[in-house]
Chains A and B, each alone.
Chain A
């Protein structure tokens, strides 16, 4: 990702790329269940349809928080792609998620409250691992800035393989995929925090999910250093892994999720950190 044009293009096109990833994901999921599945552009059809629906808002702060969730997530993604400070990127992402949690708590719907509770718990599950990952990146490349990672001439995957495994283990939590999709849980609490949004305000939350795809796959790309081919292979592998896991596993409850990610993923990341310090 040398130069300036490619990151800026990626940032501007991020919602479109994320939408295409979401469409592809729906097709892959359908094919895994021996169905045909929707067309590739289905998320955009949903987007245009939701734009034409009547807006029903609970109260103005709720709708505003939903839009700010989208804006701050896009900002975090922009900072990540432009080579900003990784710690700052992670905390900006945390900020955007906490705006959604605030929106969830601001309504009177019990499902919204449950979703907000569970989103807060899933932050507890993935955030420590991400921080440890950022420190590991610092130890290897000598800088917290992602620009240093994008220009690092050796693949980081070989220097910190355990950290990559830890990232793979927390990605389902972050992308809200089975078995760790307690925060969204469509059959159980019908979307959690997003339940009270409608019309164009739901669109903001729906599009923010597409941005989250781009964000997560960029985090995966960081492990390739400046090797674009390896990065593409890693992204492809992660896409297949996340979808296969999503289709083949049932939802666990939040305690099991928390226990797993703190006991296994966090320890793996921490072990990796110690190895990076020693070697």
Chain B
């Protein structure tokens, strides 16, 4: 029996706010309400990383929350997907370049689906999660190594260059192990 088919039918969501303004979080909670009701697809907001499949992250990563973000990601058993929800989580948004924030969650953990918007609308979030489910079905049980906080991102003139960061992260990942 192919069990991968059932991943699509019961995705359990873990919602983590990495220091956002709560706008996207309210929209995520609106998805659970009577109007959008994502429980009809079998999704529940489980709140427990060890039993979840989808990590929904909102907010730019503040320097306080980045350890927890990586920790929560590492505690989820594979197969798992990450959906970054809202402009802040994708790129840093209006907080980009500020002294207390990082520019987006993909500096620390691999992201599968980016959902834009400030705050992203419930329809967009549902669409992003459904796209994530297609990716989830193709994933394997192999260990996905998260990018640990071993290196500080490269900064030039106070701005983080994401392309260089990604290259650097891949480099450090190999040297670290």
Binding site for B on A (CB under 8 A): 26, 30, 33-39, 42, 45-46, 48-56, 186-187, 190-191, 195-199, 202
Contact = CB atoms under 8 A, between A and B. Distances in A.
Given A45-B42, A49-B7, A52-B3, A30 B37 contact: yes
Contact of B6 (A39, A52, A56, A197): A52
A203 B141 CA distance: 17
Contact of A45 (B6, B34, B39, B78): B6
A170 B133 CA distance: 40
B40 A36 contact: yes
A38 B79 contact: no
A190 B46 CA distance: 8
Interface stretch (B47-55, B83-91, B111-119, B156-164): B47-55
A54 B78 CA distance: 5
Given A45-B9, A49-B9, A39 B42 contact: yes
A35 B78 contact: no
A191 B48 contact: yes
Contacts of A186: 47
B77 A54 contact: yes
9 closest A-B pairs (Cβ-Cβ)?
Answer: A52-B3, A198-B50, A48-B6, A45-B9, A54-B77, A35-B37, A45-B10, A46-B10, A49-B6
B4 interface: yes
Interface residues of B, number: 27
A199 B77 CA distance: 8
A38 B39 contact: yes
A209 to B, nearest CB: 13
B50 A56 contact: yes
Nearest to B39: A38
Contacts of B41: 38
Contacts of B7: 49, 52
B42 to A, nearest CB: 5
A48 B4 CA distance: 9
Interface in B44-79: 46-48, 50-51, 53, 75, 77-79
Contacts of A199: 77
A55 B77 contact: yes
Contact of B10 (A30, A33, A49): A49
Contacts of B78: 53-54
A202 B51 contact: yes
Contacts of A52: 3-4, 6-7, 79, 141
A56 B3 CA distance: 18
11 contacts: A35-B37, A37-B37, A38-B39, A38-B41, A39-B42, A42-B10, A45-B6, A45-B10, A49-B53, A52-B141, A198-B51
B77 to A, nearest CB: 4
B108 to A, nearest CB: 20
A197 B42 CA distance: 20
B47 A190 contact: yes
Contacts of B4: 52
A202 B77 CA distance: 12
A195 B47 CA distance: 10
A37 B3 contact: no
Given A52-B4, A187-B47, 12 more contacts: A35-B33, A35-B40, A38-B42, A45-B9, A45-B42, A46-B12, A52-B3, A53-B79, A186-B47, A198-B51, A199-B77, A202-B50
A37 B39 CA distance: 6
A38 B9 CA distance: 10
A36 B6 contact: no
Nearest to A39: B42
Contacts of B3: 48-49, 51-52
A33 B37 CA distance: 10
Nearest to A53: B77
A119 B3 CA distance: 33
Contacts of B75: 56
